[in-house]
Amino acid sequence: MNVQEAINKLNELELQEFAYGHAMGILSYDDETTAPRGSRIPRGKTMGVLSELSYKLSTGDEAMRLLDQLKEHADELSEEDRRRVELRDKRTREMKAIPVEEYVAYSELINESSNVWREAKNRSDYKMFEPYLGKIIETQKRFAGLVRPDMDPYDYCLDQYEEGLTQEKCEEFFKTLREHIVPLLERVRSAPPIDTSFLSTPFPISDQRELSRKLMEIMNLPKDNCVIGEVEHPFTTGFSKYDVRITTHYYEDAFLSSMYSVIHEGGHALYDLHSDDRFCFTSLEGGISMGVHESQSRFYENIIGRSREFVGLIYPELIRLCPKLAAHSVDQLWRAANVAEPSLIRTEADELTYPLHIMVRYEMEKAMIKGDVNTADLPGMWNGLYKEYLGIDVPDDKNGILQDSHWSGGGIGYFPSYALGSAYGAQLLAKMREDFDVREAVRSNQLIKVNNWLEDKIWKYGSLYKPAELMEKAFGGPFDPKYYTDYLERKYTEVYGL
Ligand code: ZN
């Protein structure tokens, strides 16, 4: 087999892998959105069969021989094909290092633990979830040792979500954030409070659905390739650049909740919808990492969506759909949408206090993986950190350690990418402003300019570059969290008139 024939084989293999992933993804999406409760059993069976077939396809003798051959001829491959081989090598090494029966047992554990977590959260009963969390931590540590014995286990966890991210980088990044956010938050708290009472004005759900459609139009999300579903906890799932699903949750007395979740998920969707055509059905299609993904969604949600210009742009539509809101000005609404206040729940936190919620989780995960804390002591540690970082008392585990689904699904190491993504976004804004007037583009409903810029710098590359490499190319230099702290400083000075 010559190199061209090997590449043809690789294309075939990746198309088959795509097909399995696509089918399983549709099943999961269906599960989250419209499937009846009783459909769990057959779906579980189908998922089991498909995931075994897909595992065998990716790690079988034929795929391994092909990978070896391509690695031998790496210097004859194009940049893109070399990257595909590199990604494949990393992934199969991980899959091969974990014995298949342990992998299956872990999938079952995750499945069960997600269900138990939901129940435990409802009852606010950490004890119920504790043994599962304990097993998940042990398994993660074991997998880290099997796959990367040369690496610190928590660094391995971080690397799963943001390739190249380490504790050393996190420590430095979080230290910079703390030094700026803590004093800024103190200044904000001593300023006169902002009125947010009108944000609970009843806004009928059918009208909020119309607002979602309008938001998708403003963001230039193509109707033929992106639809919106309704779920408990909003997420986005991208199958290919032709098929991306976003979701939201409507609350009649909190219209901003759904509005900003649509903008956030829309940011994820735009990224997945704009990979270069030549990456279709290959491992290079779609976003590279959680950090870069969050940089796009949080850029849209906060930097664009919570700007005065964007609030002004959507205001006429808001008062058309909910006339009572007309009693409040654009300026009042913009301030209310940017109130900063320590709170209990991460997903409802404002832009300024959000990174503090992430730091709590980072400290917890580090201690869990290092084995510095018993599972029984985790709620106490959580509550202590909330007091220390945010100055608030956690009343119960439902509003504390049980609030997020990540750990129950095995997602240890995921959280820091949210904070990193926010910081990436601020540096992208600074760079974008060198090329055009971003405020004016938003004010005049020309978000297409923002999209074109992001497509050119980030989206079109799919997974071609490692996250840090991609961001450095876009920034035209190294990542610097100062752009983020400056951005927060400027924004909150303006919002609160400090
Ligand atoms: Zn997100």
pTM: 0.94
Contacts of 171 (CB under 8 A, 6+ apart): none
> Quick check: is 210 catalytic?
no
pLDDT of residue 112 exceeding 90, the answer is no
Q: What is each CA distance from 488 to 36, 293, 401, in whole angstroms?
A: 44, 20, 27
| CA 180, chain centre distance (Å) | 24
Q: Is 207 helix (H, G, I), strand (E, B) or coil?
A: helix
Share of the chain above pLDDT 70, in %: 100
pLDDT of residue 455 exceeding 90, the answer is yes
- What is the residue whose two structure tokens read 């095995």? 410
Q: Is 475 helix (H, G, I), strand (E, B) or coil?
A: helix
Ligand 1 centre distance from Cα of residue 3 (Å): 39
Return residues with CB closer than 5 A to ligand 1 (ion): 297
**What digits encode the pLDDT tens for the residues 201-229?**
999 999 999 999 999 999 999 999 999 99
Residue 306's closest CA among 271, 328, 336, 326? 336
> In the prediction, which pLDDT does 442 show?
98
Residue 247's identity, in one-letter code, is T
Ligand 1 centre distance from Cα of residue 355 (Å): 14
The phi, psi pair for 245, rounded to 5°, reads: -115, 130
**What digits encode the pLDDT tens for the residues 350-362?**
999 999 999 999 9
Give 244's strand partners. 226, 238
Ligand 1 centre distance from Cα of residue 13 (Å): 30
CA 343, 349, 350, 352 dihedral sign is positive
**What digits encode the pLDDT tens for the residues 230-260?**
988 899 999 999 999 999 999 999 999 999 9
Ligand 1 centre distance from Cα of residue 294 (Å): 5
- What is the residue whose two structure tokens read 């607002």? 211
Domains assigned to the chain: 3-150 (no CATH), 167-496 (1.10.1370.30)
CA dist., res. 66 & res. 74, Å (int): 12
**What digits encode the pLDDT tens for the residues 427-442?**
999 999 999 999 999 9
pLDDT of residue 343 exceeding 90, the answer is yes
pLDDT of residue 315 exceeding 90, the answer is yes
In this prediction, residue 38 has a pLDDT band, given cuts at 50, 70 and 90, of: confident
pLDDT of residue 44 exceeding 90, the answer is no
Q: Which member of 265, 294, 301, 363 is catalytic? A: 265
CA dist., res. 278 & res. 490, Å (int): 41
Q: Is 491 left (phi over 0), alpha (psi -120 to 50) or beta?
A: alpha
pLDDT of residue 45 exceeding 90, the answer is no
